[in-house]
Structure 1
Amino acid sequence: MLEGCEGEILVELEKAVRNFDPDFILIPNSKFAVNYVSERAKANGLKLSLSRGLAVEGRWVDFNGRVVLDLRCFEEFGLAGIAELCNYSMLPPELAVGWPVGRLVDSRQCYEAIRRNVLLPVARSPSTAFRSLSEFHMADKGGLTFNPKVGVYENVCQLDFDSQYPNIIVKHNISYETVIDVGSVLREPRGFLAEITEYWLNRRLHFKRLAKTLPEGNLKIYAYQRQKALKAVLVVVYGYSGCSWNRFANVKCFEEINRISRKILIDALNVAEEEGFEVIYADVDSIYVHKAGAKLEDYEELRNLIVDETGLPMSIENWFKFIAFLPQQTNSGLSATKRYFGKLMSGELCFKGIEARRYDYPEYVKEVQLRMMETLFDAEDLSEVASNVDRVLGVLAKAVKALIEKRVPVEKLVVYKALHKDPREYSSMFPHVSAALQLMQHGYEVEVGDLIGYIHVRSRSKNQLTRVQAAQLVTGYYDAEKYIEMLVEAAETILSPLKIDKAQVRATLVGLR
């Protein structure tokens, strides 16, 4: 911890970097932080040399010879994963983690094209598919999804096709030059995209196997980081195949991948139903199946039958003791896709698309929602799950009381949201825009892409600029009612599969406020 006046702290920072001599410097919200340090160095008349060797002229803060990365990127992929992104894209670390993944794919494709003496097209591919609306609708149906029925289920197994889209590309020789039309693909010669994808797919699967089989330790962690980074790239290869920003793009290539994917999912569902399994939910490359009394061996046998039928590898991704599927937020009469929570047979919680996964909900709300989830699933069967509703509401009541009594640290109430353009260009005063403008008024430099943290302080104020306060400017005060409303929403998510809505949740809090 560095202490002193601002100028002294900056000088001590320079000394600390020189003494530690790090290769990598990891900074939360790095763009914002580097710009801020540069502004403060300039204001104090200091030129900070945080570099190795010669400083770069014209900069108030110089990191020459060191790699500066955003802490969140490092936490997501780790050093081994970042190295894998560099290896794939042929780019230095700052660009490999800073560029959109589509640009990494473009970098690799350009390198591979040059290796093969293929002339590079212009950076953006002109549209080559002029069709009527009905023709477009028939050709581009996207992935196939079967909505679940809202409710709580037990003994459900999630079966996932391993890297389905990359495997389709490799197995069916999908490439920009091989897809003549939807349903018509050249088998020879080997396609440009298929050949590139095959190497990186095999590499990803190699590290995925190592991550599962290696003993606990650094090697296991590194293998996991590498496969995770390659997964992020391979997922984008599919979507990028028909994108107009792809210099090699062929939209029929994208549509053919989707057509094959839909057929594979239907084949998988047919096999499951023929074997007596109930399909609870299916989403593009995943199916969630149930059979009364089924054991892990039964689900493994089903997986093997589906692999034999489709020719694509498949894994048991999760085996749920309980899983809850939610209604749509805009229409409670319809079920939502990609939005569920559950408890695995191992005892771990598994969830997707709910508040605990979102950046725009504060840490405190997420922690309380996880406690409510644990409480609901502290059961042996579905009847016990239903009987835990009062206990869940008890968790909510304690959390609400802590907010009212101002016992919640303000740091746990920060909400984050990214800026997608200059704050002055927004036509509406969203909370994060208001916070960004506050920071600018206090001398902070704010850039597009920055994660802006803020606290709700006066949510009902007529002046939109005073409804929130930027996290860097907090005084300790917060609007308890606003955060209580967030907790109510989080509780409704947990209880809605049991037909309990927000009004019923609010009714249990009468007398606390």
Structure 2
Amino acid sequence: MTKWILDAYIFGDRVYLDIYDDSTNSIEKQIVDLYFYGYIKTSNPEHLVDELRKADGVEDAWIESWLIPPFYDLIEPVVVFTTKSYQLLKYILWLAKLKNLRVVNTFPHPLIEALYRTGIQPLTPINHSIKGRIETSEWNPRSRDPELKYIVVEFSSGYYVVETPEETIGFWELGDLVEYIKSDKFHLGFTDPYIYMRLVEEDLGIKTSVYKWIYSGGFSPHEYFEWCRLAYTPLSLMNNTSIGKILSTIEALYARDRRMLIDKSRSRRESWRSISELLVYDRGGVVYQPKPGLYWSVCQADFKSLYPSIMVKYNVSGETVDKPGCRNTLILPWTPHRICLDSEGVVPGSIKRLIELKDLYDTLYRETMDELYKERKNAVKWILVASFGYLGYRNSFFGSVMAHEVVTSTSREVLKKARIAVEKKGYRIIHAIIDSLFIEGTKTLDECIYLKNTIEEATGFQVKIEAHYTWLYIPRSLNSDESTANKYYGLTSSGEPKIKGILAVRRDTPLIVRKAELEALSKLFEAQTPWELSIKLEEAHSIIDKYIELLRKREVEIRELVVSRNGRTREEYVKPPLYIFNSKPPYRLVYIDGRLVPLEKTLNRNYDVDKYIELLEKAKRELPTRRDLEDLFYAT
């Protein structure tokens, strides 16, 4: 029998825990005593401490020395107080603002800090519980998640797609989906806010038919659970959150431990620079414009968490870059910015453990092929992806434009070293995008591994073999003869297809276009040699033509023509499309007279055959052509 911390929330003035008992599949509520922390800056901290200590409900108050932003090189006194009353905490902080005192460390939510300081990690087993006190076991990343009954609801190709531990099923009618949800007792429901609102509009009882809804998107429960544990954020605070907010919470808790103040009124300003300087240093990562066409024997080598690894290796953080008065400075020849090594930066200190955790989950997945570890790895991966974006975000607590530029300029230098090392071995790089290299001429996987080791030795960063292709195709743009950097597909030497960026894998592609292109590609993936590919190419093009003919004859069901759009209401658009005004998200749209119209508004109007044929022609354009094969045979 194991009991789990399922959730924590504030009701009235008390903190409640939802405790899940996996032996009975039941959830019980328990009140727990937690200390909430408040932080105030004032010119007379001693007086404020005396006043707070006299206040009913304040447990204690004292003065601490905190490092202050933007560079955390100065120390100032901060009054800290604790209380078990959340309402009293809010009242004191409101009163402090009213008296023109500066309230600081307002992020993250006080409940998160209370859980963190008490050591109560959401979604972990309970070790001991007595009289309002809870102790949780130290979490082992190899452990299983609680076996809850959950439901995940997403929207794809016009269908509401439901995933439970037992099955995956699609619903066209919202009423049928509601009946399905109400027919069982689910502990947790995961969806996005637009779908949740449609469900509630259909049946208000849907709110209580699932014990707890989380509507920040249709991610898997294991991803949510991982974010809860890493950021000490209970499910009750997960609604409408973002990956960036989870990252910021992890960074803020790291800063709390080191008494580094979070003060939203202080930021790191970018110094004035000339246009020529911006052109040189503010260029982003490496993205090639590859020549479209077929390539044989290609190795795709990806740097492992390149941008986060750069931040950790070189101590890149907002407060460490161009820090005045630094005693130990790192100078990198490829950037004008200087990095301070006097102390570990908040960003590298926060994400170092995440990089190790991602690698662990990757290893566990490869060893066990258990989807649990794959989903946890994805959860950590998304935080690491956000760590770079937030580094240059103007509202980031621990980022700066200068730190962002250090990372991008370093990534360009790393890929340059990798390219030179590969070319010295006699191979050719046909494509590079951010942290991926596509190397032509690797006949075997062993050659690919050899180049991986070569790149690691030349750059000092870890590399993984993402794929070894028997053949790789880079399609032309839909509007020109140039390629698009993030579109490619091919057959790997293990016999598995790999597809990236084309219409068939886009979320808003109509079902008929997706079916046609995937069916055509399945023919191409039967080919192991250039000769076989030349034969399969004719079959692939004829498959697209077959679907075009079905459209001309109007033998396609309307559901297969739906264009799905998941989100955004009118207020979120600068210039909203017309369908926003007479429909609600998630949207089911059909092309009528060249424009998208809500399906429910089409009545008996005929769909735009020419528009759908145009989409199929675009899918056809993403297939290889005779010219590609002729170029290949000529090159060989």
Do residues 190 (structure 1) and 190 (structure 2) align? no
Distance 1:35 1:147 in 2: 43
Residue 508 of structure 1: aligned partner: none
Write the deviation string for residues 322-350 of structure 1: whole angstroms up to 9, x where unpaired: 11112333431x33211112111222221
Counterpart residue number, 1:510: none
Aligned partner of 2:304 among 155, 162, 170: 162
Decide which moves more: 491-500 or 239-248. 491-500
1:260 aligns with 2:406: no
For 1:61-460, what aligned pairs fall within 5 Å after superposition?
65-69=211-215, 73-74=218-219, 78-93=220-235, 96=238, 98-122=240-264, 125=267, 127-180=269-322, 182-214=336-368, 216=369, 220-291=370-441, 294-332=443-481, 334-422=482-570, 427=575, 430=577, 433-434=578-579, 436-439=580-583, 446=584, 450-456=585-591, 458-460=592-594
Q: How far apart, CA to CA, are the structure 2 residues paired with 1:124 and 1:244?
A: 12
Name the SS of the counterpart of 2:416 in structure 1.
Answer: helix
Cα distance in 2, alignment partners of residues 201 and 37 from structure 1: 38
Aligned to 2:124: none
Q: CA deviation at 1:23?
A: 1.2
State the 1:50 CA deviation: 4.0
Give the Å deviation of 1:423.
Answer: 6.8
Deviations 1:162-206 (A, max 9, x none): 111111111112122222274522233222211111011111111
Contact 2:520 2:544 in 1 (8 A): yes
Aligned AA (1:469): P
Relative to structure 1, the CA distance from residue 306 to residue 410 in structure 2 (aligned partners, 3 Å threshold; closer, same or farther) is same
Q: Deviations over 1:335-366 (max 9, x none)?
A: 32111121112222212221112122112201
Give the stretch that moved more between structures: 96-105 or 194-203.
96-105
Partner Cα distance (2:181, 2:502) in 1 = 41
* 8 Å contact kept, 1:14–1:49: no
Aligned partner letter, 2:582: Q
Contact residue 11 and residue 48 of structure 1 kept, 8 A: no
The 1:192/1:392 distance shift into structure 2, 3 A limit, reads same
User: Take 1:335 and 1:14, find their aligned partners in 2: how far apart are those partners?
Assistant: 47
Q: Deviations over 1:104-161 (max 9, x none)?
A: 2222222222222111020784633322222222221211223222210111110001
Consecutive unaligned residues of structure 1, counting only runs of 5 or more, are: 1-8, 42-46, 53-62, 440-445, 501-513
Provide the rounded CA distance (Å) in 1 between the counterparts of 2:600 and 2:376: 34
* Aligned residues of 2:178 and 2:206 also touching (Cα < 8 A): no
Matched residues in 2 for 1:326 and 1:497: separation? 13
Deviation at 1:487, TM superposition (A): 0.7
What's the secondary structure of 2:208's corresponding residue? coil
Q: When you count helix as a share of all residues, which structure comes out higher? A: 1
What amino acid is the match of 1:470? L
**Contact 1:271/1:305 (8 A) holds in 2:** yes
- Tell me the distance in 2 between the aligned counterparts of 1:12 and 1:343: 38
User: Matched residue of 1:145: which SS?
Assistant: coil
Residue 496 (structure 1) shift: 5.4
Q: Residues 230 and 123 of structure 1: is their aligned pair in 2 closer, same or farther, counting only changes over 3 Å?
A: farther
Please name the residue that 2:205 is paired with.
48
Instruction: Work out the CA distance in 1 between the residues paired with 2:206 and 2:588.
Output: 29
Asked if 1 retains the 8 angstrom alpha-carbon contact of 2:292 and 2:474, the reply is: yes
Quick check: 2:295–2:471 contact (8 Å CA) kept in 1?
yes
State the distance in 2 between where 1:351 and 1:306 align.
25
Higher strand share: 2
Q: Name the structure, 1 or 2, with higher relative contact order (CA <8 Å, separation 6+).
A: 1
Whole-Å Cα distance in 1 between the matches of residues 440 and 541 of structure 2?
29
Q: What's the secondary structure of 1:327's corresponding residue?
A: coil
Aligned-partner residue type, residue 25 of structure 1: G
Structure 1, 151-160 or 98-107: larger mean CA deviation: 98-107
CA distance in structure 1 between the partners assigned to 2:608 and 2:374 by the alignment: 41
Distance 1:277 1:94 in 2: 53
Distance 1:144 1:15, change over 3 A: closer
Alpha-carbon shift at residue 297 of structure 1 (Å)? 1.0
Judged with a 3 Å threshold, the aligned counterparts in structure 2 of structure 1 residues 124 and 405 are, in CA distance, closer, same or farther, namely farther
CA pair 94-422 structure 1, distance change in 2 beyond 3 A:
farther
**Offset at residue 413 of structure 1 (A):** 1.7
- Structure 2: how far apart are the matches of 1:126 and 1:187? 18
| 8 Å CA contact 1:182, 1:252 repeated in 2 | no
Closer, same or farther in 2 for the Cα pair 1:15/1:241, shift >3 Å?
A: closer
**Cα deviation, residue 472, structure 1:** 8.6
C-alpha distance in structure 2 between counterparts of 1:348 and 1:474, whole Å: 43
- Once the two structures are TM-superposed, the CA of residue 22 in structure 1 deviates from its matched residue by 1.5
Residue 193 (structure 2) aligned to one of 15, 25, 31? 31
How many residues are aligned here? Answer: 444
The answer on whether the counterparts of 2:337 and 2:406 sit within 8 Å (CA) in structure 1 is yes
Deviation at 1:13, TM superposition (A): 5.9
TM-score, length-normalised on structure 1?
0.78
Q: Distance in 2 between matches of 1:16 and 1:158?
A: 43
Deviation, structure 1 residue 483: 1.5
The one-letter code matched in structure 1 to 2:188 is: F
Cα distance, 1:269 vs. partner? 0.9
Counterpart of 2:186? Answer: 22
What's the offset of the Cα at 1:400? Answer: 1.7
SS at match of 1:337: coil
Distance 1:88 1:423 in 2: 33
Q: Using structure 2 for the length normalisation, give the TM-score.
A: 0.64
Q: Summarize the Cα distance change of 1:197–1:33 in structure 2 as closer, same or farther, 3 Å threshold.
A: closer
- Indicate if the aligned counterparts of 1:324 and 1:497 stay in contact, CA closer than 8 A: no
Identity %: 24
What is the alpha-carbon distance in structure 2 between the residues aligned to residue 244 and residue 203 of structure 1?
Answer: 28
Report what 1:509 is aligned to: none
CA shift for structure 1 position 228: 0.6
CA distance in 1, matches of 2:265, 2:564: 34
Aligned to 1:493: 622
1:8-65: CA deviation from partner (whole Å, max 9, x where unpaired): x989969974x733111245xx433432344455xxxxx637438xxxxxxxxxx6x5
Amino acid of the structure 2 residue aligned with 1:479: D
The gaps in structure 2 that reach 5 residues or longer are 1-173, 323-334, 630-636
Contact 2:422–2:451, Cα closer than 8 Å, also in 1: yes
Helix, strand or coil at the partner of 1:224 = helix
Residues 20, 359 of structure 1: alpha-carbon distance in 2 compared, 3 angstrom cutoff: closer
CA contact (8 A) 2:270 2:402 kept: no
CA distance in 2, matches of 1:451, 1:81: 23
The verdict on how the C-alpha distance between 1:471 and 1:359 changes in structure 2, with shifts beyond 3 A counting, is farther
